[in-house]
Structure 1
Amino acid sequence: VFLFLVVLFFRTSESYKILVYNPKFAHSHTNFVARMADILVEAGHEVTTLMPEIDPALKDCTRKSNIIRVNQSAQTAILLHDFR
């Protein structure tokens, strides 16, 4: 009976370590992927967001996942400047 109660009170769950690739190049894309990462964290997963900064003017939308930022290269800055 004791073992049954212990098993009853401790539920097992599977959580995963997930890497989300979210380049900062468009607000809608960045916001959507960041919200998806936050939902995964709320579900109990360990989420890390890899975020290359293509457009540094965009804000980070994820609040709950770990963030690894990749700084903008000089070549990307030139391309972004020419694009605007």
Structure 2
Amino acid sequence: MNIFDLLPAQDAPQAAICSRKGCREVATMQLLWNNPKIHTADRRKIWLACQDHVAWLEDYLQSRSLWKETLPMSPKDSA
């Protein structure tokens, strides 16, 4: 028996999930951000957001001067 046989099958790609703590909804938007104290100016980190949390996450990042832009997820991003 192989320990990996106990893991669920990964045949189908899983949907991208919202980054808001405790949320398990499918993400529809991506928020690009960086922390200028530790990242180079061209570096972009990405948080994913469902429709219910995009404004909250954007406000969180903007209030800390970390937000760069918000973009819709493309079909290739959601897999």
Using the size of structure 1 for normalisation, the TM-score is 0.28
Bigger Rg over Cα: 1
Higher helix share: 1
Using the size of structure 2 for normalisation, the TM-score is 0.29
